[in-house]
Structure 1
Amino acid sequence: MKASPEDQRRLLDLQAVDTALAQLAHKRRSLPELAEIDAVSRELSAMEDERVRAQVAVDDLDRDISRFEKDIEQVRLRKERDQKRLDAGGAVREIEGLQHELATLNRRQSELEDSELELMEQKETAEATLAEVRGRLAAAAERRSAAEKRRDETLGDIAKEEEFKSSSRGPLAADLPGDLVALYDKIRLESGLGAALFRSGRCGGCRIELYGADLARVKAAAPDDVVRCEECRRIMVRTAESGL
């Protein structure tokens, strides 16, 4: 393939733009915020499971306490009825029966209240655990939100830079011969680098230094010959820096 030395040199400008775009794409994919958001999201998922378990524990205790309160209320009502009957008087045997039942109800009420108190203490501990988990959830959510904000700001800056670089690429490519750009793009898509400066006897693509017949081939090539590296197959652009 033939192309003027100036067109070949301008391939380096095009490659510089494409390299910058590739670096921006890599930066977009490898933002530290992405890893941070992913890690915090996993933390949040685990903590949400923890919160659910803590909430269930509190709800279970609430249900048990409510059941005890109902039982205690029933005992109180029964005691009030028995006390009214006792106050109304009656046969000795009936009075003795009521007194015995009241004593039994008092013991039952005391047992229920002790059990309720124990559950209320457990609930206090469970609620403290739930509050602690919620606090950690809120802090983690804030960390994720801050990371997402930084991510979005950085992505916005990258998008602006990509737009600027892309807008400059079009005119560069349009001013070059179509077949030269097609070859360059084919090589670039395969290896990431389509053209590189040949400097001091070394390919700028694979960094291999040429000797003997390989170097002689490059030196003997006409200025408008498009020379490619035998090793990496990239276009080697020759300029005054090439030392030929």
Structure 2
Amino acid sequence: MKAPAAQQRLLLDLAELDADIAKAQHARKNLPEDAELAELATALEAARDDVARSRVAVDDLQAVYDKIDAELTGMAEHAARDQAAIDAGTVGHKALTELQHELDHLIRRRDDLEAEMLELMEQQEATGTEADRAEAALLVLTEKELDLVAQRDSSAAAAEQKVADITDRRGSLAATIDGPLVAIYDGLRGRGQVGAGLVQARRCGACRMELDPRTLSRIAAADEDEVLRCEECGAIMVRTNHSGLPGQGRPRE
């Protein structure tokens, strides 16, 4: 197959654009914000667990508080009734003694419960402070996540635009190259191979294999418009005045 040397050299520009597209696509799939968001997700999960635990602790203490408060209220009403009966003087001696004994017991129990409630209130204060801290930490992380998502979306849009811009340039360049030549190049790339490479320093620029003297001589002897393929990888071997081929003296254009 033959194609003008200038056309073959355009394949190097095409390969460079394809490499740029691959880099841009890789960058789109590996945005730094995505990595940060993944780390942040772990921190957010831990923060939500802290908030859930602190809320349970607050609710549990409140339940205990309500129980003690209800008991104190009932006890105060009971004590008031006993005291009213004693003050009224309408009960017998035995009943009076029992009422007085019961009242004393209620007073002691009240004092115990009030001391317990004071201790409980201190626990509630500490637990409430911890719950506030956990919720504040969660809020900070949530706001950070929102900011990162916005940054990620902006970076993603920029990366996608870059891919689109390079793809457009690639399409424009490909349209200036002979169709059969581009078909060979694209066919190789479609199979996951490098489409073209510069022959330089006795190597194929596509697979980096060193070319033996016989092959180098064959390449040097070939017409400039002859499309040569690497025997190792099948890529189109593009020759320029920088290839350093045997007998290549004055640069050929």
TM-score of the superposed pair, with normalisation by structure 1: 0.91
Distance 1:190 1:134 in 2: 54
User: What secondary structure sits across from 1:169 in the alignment?
Assistant: helix
> Aligned partner of 1:30: which letter?
N
Q: Matched residue pairs, number?
A: 244
Q: How does 1:1-244 map to 2 (within 5 A)?
A: 1-90=1-90, 91-191=92-192, 193-244=194-245
Secondary structure of the corresponding residue to residue 14 of structure 1: helix
Distance in 2 separating the partners of 1:115 and 1:109: 10
Between the aligned partners of 1:226 and 1:80, the Cα distance in structure 2 is 111
- 1:167 deviates by 1.6
Give, in angstroms, the shift of residue 179 of structure 1: 2.6
Aligned to 2:250: none
Contact 2:54 2:130 in 1 (8 A): yes
1:228 CA drift (Å): 2.2
Q: Kindly, what percent of the aligned residue pairs are identical? A: 39
The two structures, once aligned, show a CA RMSD in angstroms of 1.9
Separation in 2, partners of 1:123, 1:231: 77
Secondary structure of 1:242's counterpart equals coil
- Counterpart of 2:62, as a letter, is D
Offset at 1:192? 5.8
Q: Structure 1, residues 208-244: CA drift from partner, whole Å, max 9, x if none?
A: 3323112122212222222222333322211222233
Which amino acid in structure 1 is aligned with residue 88 of structure 2?
A
The 1:123/1:189 distance shift into structure 2, 3 A limit, reads: farther
For 1:42 and 1:192, the matched residues in 2 are separated by 39
Residues 52 and 192 from structure 1, CA distance in 2 versus in 1: closer, same or farther, beyond 3 angstroms? farther
Deviation for aligned residue 1:106: 0.7
Secondary structure of 2:199's partner?
strand
Contact 2:197–2:237 (CA<8 Å) still a contact in 1? yes
CA distance in 1, matches of 2:59, 2:192: 61
TM-score (norm 2): 0.88
- Local SS of the residue matching 1:241: coil
